[in-house]
């Protein structure tokens, strides 16, 4: 199946604009994707017709809001093939989901002398919560290095796995390199060593079909806003037995079943981990994004994105003043690069004035920048609505930067 | 209509390519480090204060975008040999210039070559690139060894 990109673009109102008199070329999808009308309309409809608090009203609106919120949970369960909706906890996003695991599961299971093993290509949100945990518990953070192509060195990873390893944190699709990690294999190795695995799926779900049971992941986390959904909502998937045993993360309303001043009984999972009024509109928008992805077919969208990436990589190769950072054999959606003599930040500004939105910086993966000994990279990241023509404009516009700095 | 050359004036491009007063300063008595967490730019400034409270010598090193490199280079040129009070005045004037209303023409008599950096006003996300070196120099002048940040 192929997609009709023109009609797909029509579904994204934001793409219809010009910036600085040029048509907008949005290539910062790894930071956040744009939203189709279906998602925007679902949120609007919720506020116009169904707005009420969830899980606590007997009136019609509250019942509709609750049903919409819980339907979204079911859609996510289905998307990642979790065994039960009780394994899906809504969070503010990937970052909060990882912090939830590090605090709740981590404090209960990690002891002095234990180790948390992560890769060198993790996002700061899959580094810092573990550092904090290690500080609290007297545990050690161990890092598995990557190759100069930006691939995990599996032998090095194995060498760092031991009976001390409590948990492995691994990114599914790297936001700064585009690398797709062999997650199922990593999980098998970790399980053999007796460690649990958290997979950072922030970038993955918009570009890959994910089956958490096939992967064997103990925890899988993601954010709606990187998969055509709204900001401020994401989820934690955790295998039921793990989640059942985990202590609450935050206390408050909704997460309890009975409260006296002497003792509080907690609500069942997943509600035990959703204290306070949640982001109801966000969840409903998230559900609409999942519907949208399913209707288009993630694989179909991904095929188009792969062609874009291949084309962009080919154009990059033709420039002798350009170095691509991240050349893994198995990669998706991300082209990170540096241009000789031109700092990524300057390039970002110059492209911006051509209407092209890219990201320039360390992409919240400073250790990756340190590995490649660059202060920053320019990053073009593709989504389903991008076109070959846009890639041509991007590469032609590099000449503008070369001209300025000649 | 906006022109990229408003930001990347030739002077800036030149100073980026061959920054003045670049490298460690032998016999420096003040050092400060600056860091812009947004883009990862790092800067170190070295300073030697003379007996008459003037900036006897100054240098910087680091890596960053053209704006931050050129700004640091131009700053060292502007303050070398000047009394510390003059640095304080220039810092204030520079900050004013890069955050002032676009309608305001920079005071070239006061700012000298530094006026070329007035172009960053059009680029709110780039103002910090131009001011990083000034914040860092302020920390050095005040003898503060902590890392200066742009925020
Ligand atoms: C790989 C990866 N992990 C984690 C995150 C954090 O996601 P969020 O900011 O939505 O919590 C991001 C997004 O920046 C990411 O790309």
The answer to whether A343 contacts B65, with C-beta atoms less than 8 Å apart, is yes
The answer to whether A404 contacts B39, with C-beta atoms less than 8 Å apart, is no
Start-to-end CA span in chain A (Å): 45
Chain B residues touching residue A376 (CB < 8 angstroms): 39-40
Is the Cβ atom of A203 under 6 angstroms away from ligand 1? yes
For the CA of A171, the closest atom of ligand 1 is: 1
pLDDT per residue over A51-91, tens digit each?
A: 999 987 789 999 999 999 999 999 999 999 999 999 999 99
The SS3 of residue B27 is coil
Phi first, then psi, for residue B60 (nearest 5°) are -150, 160
B5, B8, B129 member nearest A345 (Cβ): B129
pLDDT per residue over B38-83, tens digit each?
A: 777 889 999 999 888 899 999 999 989 999 999 999 999 999 999 9
The per-residue pLDDT for B51 is 86
**A375 contact B CB<8A:** yes
Query: Could you give the number of structural domains in chain B?
Result: 1
pLDDT per residue over A283-334, tens digit each?
A: 999 999 999 999 999 999 999 999 999 999 999 999 999 999 999 999 999 9
Other beta carbons within 10 angstroms of residue A60's beta carbon come to: 10
Q: Is the pLDDT of residue A141 over 90?
A: yes
Task: Check whether the bond before A16 is cis (ω within 30° of 0).
Answer: no
Q: Is the pLDDT of residue B151 over 90?
A: no
**Beta-sheet strand order (sheet of B30-36):** B55-63, B41-49, B30-36, B148-149
The percent of residues in chain A predicted with pLDDT above 90, rounded, is 93
Query: Rounded CA gap, A370 and A333, in Å?
Result: 22
Identify the CA nearest to B59 among candidates B71, B77, B42.
B77
Centre of ligand 1 to C-alpha B24, Å, is 38
* Strand pairing class (A22-23; A18-19): antiparallel
Using a 10 angstrom Cβ sphere, with 0-12 exposed, 13-18 middle and 19 or more buried, the burial of residue A38 is middle
Other beta carbons within 10 angstroms of residue B31's beta carbon come to: 16
How far apart, in Å, are the Cα atoms of A331 and each of A17, A74, A127, A208? 30, 29, 22, 11
Identify the CA nearest to A65 among candidates A73, A76, A57, A74.
A57
How far apart, in Å, are the Cα atoms of B98 and each of A213, A379, B42, B92? 55, 28, 20, 10
Compute the C-alpha angle A98/A104/A106, nearest 5°: 75
The per-residue pLDDT for B1 is 43
Token output for A359: 């990201």
The CATH number assigned to the domain holding B64 equals 3.90.1010.10
The per-residue pLDDT for A204 is 98
**Cβ–Cβ under 8 Å, residues A216 and A185:** no
pLDDT per residue over A221-278, tens digit each?
A: 999 999 999 999 999 999 999 999 999 999 988 888 888 888 888 889 999 999 999 9
Handedness of CA B51, B55, B60, B64 (dihedral sign): positive
pTM: 0.94
Q: Which helix (H) or strand (E) holds A23?
A: strand A22-23
Token output for A184: 């199922």
Q: Is the pLDDT of residue A99 over 50?
A: yes
The percent of residues in chain B predicted with pLDDT above 90, rounded, is 65
Catalytic residue among A15, A193, A364, A366: A364
Give the pLDDT mean for A203-230: 98
Query: Rounded CA gap, A237 and A67, in Å?
Result: 20
Segments forming the whole domain that contains residue B47? 4-149
Is the Cβ atom of A333 under 6 angstroms away from ligand 1? no
- Given the cut 0.90, state whether the ipTM is greater than it: no
What are the DSSP E strand ranges found in B11-75?
Answer: 30-36, 41-49, 55-63
Identify the CA nearest to A370 among candidates A214, A145, A88, A140.
A145
The answer to whether B123 contacts A345, with C-beta atoms less than 8 Å apart, is no
**Cβ–Cβ under 8 Å, residues A353 and B2:** yes
A353, A361, A404 member nearest B40 (Cβ): A361
Active site residue A319: no
- Domains of chain A, CATH where assigned: 5-27+297-400 (3.90.1150.10), 40-294 (3.40.640.10)
Query: Rounded CA gap, B151 and B146, in Å?
Result: 14
How far apart, in Å, are the Cα atoms of B34 and each of A176, A246, B72, B98, B144? 25, 42, 11, 19, 11
**B144 contact A CB<8A:** no
């Amino acid at each position: 199946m192929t997609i009709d990109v023109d009609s797909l673009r029509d579904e994204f109102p934001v793409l219809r604009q010009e910036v600085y008199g040029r048509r907008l070329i949005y290539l910062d999808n790894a930071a956040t994707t744009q939203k189709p009308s279906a998602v925007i309309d679902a949120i609007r409809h919720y506020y116009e017709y169904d707005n009420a608090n969830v899980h606590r009203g007997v009136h019609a609106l509250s019942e509709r809001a609750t049903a919409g919120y819980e339907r979204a949970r079911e859609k996510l369960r289905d998307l990642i093939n979790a065994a039960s909706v009780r394994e899906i906890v809504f969070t503010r996003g990937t970052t909060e989901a990882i912090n939830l695991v590090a605090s709740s599961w981590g404090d209960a299971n990690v002891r002095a002398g234990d180790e948390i093993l992560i890769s060198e290509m993790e996002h700061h949100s899959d580094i810092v919560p573990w550092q904090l945990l290690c500080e609290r518990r007297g545990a050690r953070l161990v890092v598995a290095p990557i190759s100069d192509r930006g691939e995990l060195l599996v032998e090095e990873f194995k060498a760092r796995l031991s009976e001390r390893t409590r948990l492995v944190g691994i990114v599914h699709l790297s936001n700064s390199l585009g690398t797709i990690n062999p997650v199922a294999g990593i999980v098998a190795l970790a399980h053999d060593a007796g460690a649990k695995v958290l997979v950072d799926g922030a970038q993955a779900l918009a570009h890959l079909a994910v089956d958490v049971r096939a992967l064997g992941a103990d925890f899988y986390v993601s954010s709606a806003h990187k998969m055509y959904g709204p900001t401020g909502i994401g989820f934690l998937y955790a295998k039921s037995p793990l989640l059942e045993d985990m202590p609450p993360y935050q206390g408050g309303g909704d997460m309890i079943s009975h409260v006296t001043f002497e003792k509080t009984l907690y609500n069942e999972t997943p509600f035990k981990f959703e204290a306070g009024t949640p982001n109801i509109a966000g969840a409903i928008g998230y559900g609409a994004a999942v519907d949208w992805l399913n209707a288009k077919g993630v694989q179909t969208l991904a095929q188009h994105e792969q062609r874009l990436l291949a084309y962009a990589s080919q154009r990059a190769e033709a420039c002798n003043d350009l170095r691509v950072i991240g050349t893994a054999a198995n990669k998706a959606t991300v082209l990170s690069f540096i241009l000789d003599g031109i700092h990524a930040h300057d390039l970002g500004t110059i492209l911006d004035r051509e209407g092209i939105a890219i990201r320039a910086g360390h992409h919240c993966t400073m250790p990756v920048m340190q590995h490649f000994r660059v202060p920053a990279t320019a990053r073009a990241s593709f989504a389903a609505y991008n076109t070959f023509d846009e890639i041509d404009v991007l590469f032609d516009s590099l000449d503008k930067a070369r001209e300025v700095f000649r | 209509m906006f022109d990229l050359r408003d930001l990347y004036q030739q002077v800036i491009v030149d100073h980026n390519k061959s920054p003045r007063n670049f490298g460690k300063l032998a016999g420096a008595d003040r050092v400060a480090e600056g860091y812009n967490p947004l883009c990862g730019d790092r800067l170190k400034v070295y300073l030697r204060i003379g007996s008459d409270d003037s900036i006897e010598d100054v240098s910087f090193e680091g890596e960053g975008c053209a704006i931050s490199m050129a700004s640091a280079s131009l700053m060292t040129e502007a303050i070398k040999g000047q009394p510390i009070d003059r640095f304080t005045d220039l810092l204030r004037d520079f900050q004013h210039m890069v955050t002032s209303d676009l309608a305001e023409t920079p005071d070239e008599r006061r700012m000298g070559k530094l006026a070329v950096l007035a172009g960053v006003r059009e680029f709110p996300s780039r103002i910090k690139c131009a001011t990083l070196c000034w914040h860092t120099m302020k920390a050095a002048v005040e003898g503060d060894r902590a890392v200066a940040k742009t925020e």
